[in-house]
Amino acid sequence: MKRPVVFVVMDGVGLSENTVGNAVKQAYTPTLDYLMNTIPYTAIQAHGVAVGLPSDDDMGNSEVGHNAIGCGQIYAQGAKLVNQSLESGEIFTSETWNKTMAQAQNSTLHFIGLLSDGNVHSHIDHLIAMVKQAKLSGVKKVRSHILLDGRDVPATSGLIYVEQLENLFKELNDENFDARIASGGGRMYVTMDRYDADWAMVERGWKTHVLGEGRQFTSAREAIETYRTEGGYNDQNLPAFVIAEKGEPLGKIVEGDAVIFNNFRGDRAIEITKAFEFEDKDFPYFDRKVRPNVFYAGMLQYDGDLQIPTNYLVTPPRIKNTLSERLVAEGIKQYAISETQKFGHVTYFWNGNRTEKFSDELETYVEIKSDLVPFEQRPWMKAAEITDTLIAAIESNEYGFLRCNFPNGDMVGHTGNYLATIIGVETVDLQLKRIMDAVDKVNGILVVTADHGNADEMFEKSKDPNAAPKPKTAHTLNPVPFFIIGKEVAYKEGHFGLANIASTLAELLEVEKDPSWLESLVK
């Protein structure tokens, strides 16, 4: 067999020269320090147009990042797709939109989704455009079930978006149109679980949005301010709330209603979609009590293999010619591993939004189950277990290409806990040394990079020099490092990004790259 190639993603570990609030710089990282001081490396772009987003003001994320790495091409992604559809008006002439409007004429149109302008899972502008169009289409009653962000935007910025939405409703509401916020909660507490990590989140969302069960408030502002006073919650962890009048929920989802889930990114939309669409015999996750017969649509199709949702407003990118396909064609055995929180990134997103393997014989997937505890309480997560299992696979000499993701820099970074994030980065550094030794033992090649920044910028910038720093929980716009260890290489000069990695890996594996891929990073 040719020299095996091991590919490691240090999720959320970007490059920044700033030292204040930089958990990567402040961490004890002898392995990364050694690499940066002894071998050539380059910095590559992991955000904006380099990963198919509308502009370089748009932060990257793990989903589009792993898409780009795994397919070697730049596809229009998420927000860009939706923006194009809104600008052309195509979204409002689609069959799904027309069916949704028809269903809602004599019932209620519900929107569920993340309320922010973070542009990673959703954008408030998309919701605003759809509410306006719904009124023009003759819909009389709209209810919005809001999921507060605090990860892709500042940690306690939720009231900004609530006010923006409430002002829109005041402008539109009249004797023939009634739009109001009906329920909500923090994205890490209700509804937006992913990879089957914590279905209790989805159950809480179902009870809140659909059944109208939970603590009642007169407004979203009252709910947010009360919870912050009582428990010091930031937006992403805010408990669930139901808006009610005279003890009655404003927006239970009932038989005959229409529902649009207005997130465009798929990972945290799949489980709530299953709750709406799957029959009882196919839904063992929790007791829904009532499953109203509604017309349900997603902003995009969230899983092309599972074909969910059945109805969607904007067609997602059809990603072809991935690296995995190419390696399967060459008969190269592949191994993919991470813990639950990022398992889908080294499988589903890596393979171009495909759930199934290209070859059961040539591809091995290993998921290490994540702990169901707050990440700041256990910032080492499952890094050691991932490394133990990966090293065994490396030493088996069975695989030509092995890939893994360490979620620590991203998942712990999203908590805003600076000390915990430093520990998370140090954890990854320790495991990286173990992997380096294992790869060297089998005369392999190790490639190390990241999918976007996060841990490298943990404080929000303030215009007030005397103000105490506020935690930053969002991704950064910083580039990420790219190392090749075990082979002498020289990097090309120019502007490169994550989509240049597939060609580089193919070259290291001595495989001809697909003609559709961007060029390799090495000369």
Q: Give how far the C-alpha of residue 254 lies from the chain's centroid of Cα atoms, to the nearest Å.
A: 30
Distance CA 174, CA 163 (A): 19
Split at pLDDT 50, 70, 90, the class of 307 is confident
Q: Are 347 and 308 part of one and the same domain?
A: no
Reported as a single tens digit per residue, the pLDDT across 98-138 is: 999 999 999 999 999 999 999 989 999 999 999 999 999 99
Residue 268 inside a domain? The answer is yes
What are phi and psi for residue 352, nearest 5 degrees? 75, 40
Q: Domain total for the chain? A: 2
Catalytic residue among 62, 144, 503, 520: 62
Q: Are 120 and 215 part of one and the same domain?
A: yes
Reported as a single tens digit per residue, the pLDDT across 42-58 is: 999 999 999 998 889 88
Catalytic site includes residue 157: no
Q: Are 14 and 99 part of one and the same domain?
A: no
Tell me the average pLDDT across 59-77. Answer: 94
> What is the extent of the structural domain holding 494?
5-77+334-508
pLDDT value of position 304: 66
pLDDT score of 145 more than 70: yes
Residue 194 inside a domain? The answer is yes
What the block records as the tokens of 276 is: 């709406």
Tell me the average pLDDT across 477-503. Answer: 97
What are phi and psi for residue 508, nearest 5 degrees? -65, -30
pLDDT value of position 469: 83
Sign of CA dihedral 106, 112, 116, 117: negative
Residue 321 inside a domain? The answer is no
CB atoms within 10 A of CB 265: 24
pLDDT score of 10 more than 70: yes
Q: Are 16 and 41 part of one and the same domain?
A: yes
Domain-terminating residue out of 283, 314, 345: 314
CA atoms lying within 13 Å on the CB side of residue 338:
25
Residue 117 inside a domain? The answer is yes
SS (H, E, C) 395-413: HCCCCCEEEEEECHHHHCH
Q: Are 38 and 166 part of one and the same domain?
A: no
Average pLDDT, the chain: 96
- On whether the CB atoms of residues 404 and 386 are closer than 8 A, the answer is yes
pLDDT score of 1 more than 70: no
Reported as a single tens digit per residue, the pLDDT across 432-448 is: 999 999 999 999 999 99
Q: Are 174 and 277 part of one and the same domain?
A: yes
**Cross-strand partners of 144:** 111, 181
Q: Are 139 and 208 part of one and the same domain?
A: yes
Q: Are 343 and 373 part of one and the same domain?
A: yes
Domain-terminating residue out of 261, 284, 314: 314
Q: Are 183 and 301 part of one and the same domain?
A: yes
